[in-house]
Structure 1
């Protein structure tokens, strides 16, 4: 009554591509330089933006703005300790965003929120009011926050590209 059944490989469904086809495609795309060289892990840059990840980016942007505003107030109020606390909060946010999302965007979103807020707060208004005064602590906070964002973004790119730690000279 029914025709001959199509035989499939063990472990694969009838409509699913078999593992041999994907393995041969991966070996064809592998670099020719080395025998059995592992392919670099995907950074996910071409992955579509999911609603959850978009919400995470918006939340990190807003959190970066809050950390910048709070850091601007704290760093001037308690000079040496407040400056360290403000920079630690910014660095923790940047590193936490990179770790939570596993992407460079996890650093860029709060870094952009931090930078936009700091620029808006450092601009003088016609009334003469401004939040950041000219002083060493203010400049260390501004430059230090940018340096921390760059360090965290660079570190997240290295982790995403699969860079391994190595000891030189041994």
Structure 2
């Protein structure tokens, strides 16, 4: 996984075991970042919130960079979202990770916005490609 797109790569060919393993690892890493971010954002407000959002942005952009596909953002984003939603659901006793307030809302909405931003980014620049301009 070099972070470069290969012609005919992506989802056009049969999935390779290394690529499947990378996406599963990104899914698990997304869940771990979601759990850690959920705990940190409330514990060290407002610095913890900024740290949690920076960690999610780094993970999502790193997934894009490593795989070179939007699915590289989608896998960690899915793990992050599943973890964050499961932690936001309270137990029958009333216990929950998220408290009602501004911080958890910004963390959930901000993480989703960061995932969409990374998924809709233009492709990463390819080294050694020529521009469309004619050289004189």
Unaligned runs of 5+ in 1: 1-40, 163-170
Question: Which residue matches 2:103?
Answer: 137
Distance 1:43 1:150, change over 3 A: farther
Q: Residue 58 of structure 1: which of 2, 18, 24 is its match?
A: 24
What is the TM-score with the length of structure 2 in the denominator?
Answer: 0.83
C-alpha contact (below 8 Å) 1:43/1:103 kept by paired residues: no
Q: 1:80 aligns with which of 46, 59, 66?
A: 46
Moved over 4 A (4+): none
2:15 to 49, 52, 76: 49
| Structure 2 alignment gaps of length 5 or more | 1-6, 127-136
Match of 2:74 among 92, 108, 129: 108
Query: 1:132, 1:142 → 2: CA distance?
Result: 10
Task: Summarize the alignment of residues 12-31 of structure 1 with structure 2, pairs less than 5 Å apart.
Answer: none
The residue matched to 1:79 in structure 2 has which SS?
coil
The alignment status of 1:159 with 2:123, answered yes or no, reads yes
Q: CA-atom RMSD, angstroms?
A: 1.4
Greater Rg over alpha carbons, structure: 1
- Aligned residues between the structures: 119
Deviation at 1:127, TM superposition (A): 1.6
**Please, what TM-score do these two structures have when normalized by structure 1?**
0.67
* Secondary structure of the structure 2 residue equivalent to 1:159: coil
Query: Does the CA contact (< 8 Å) of 1:75 and 1:85 recur in 2?
Result: yes
**CA distance, structure 2, for counterparts of residue 132 and residue 100 of structure 1:** 31
Partners of 2:53 and 2:88 in 1: CA distance = 17
Partner of 1:13: none
Q: Which has the higher contact order (CA 8 A, sep 6+)?
A: 2
Counterpart among 57, 72, 96 of residue 62 in structure 2: 96
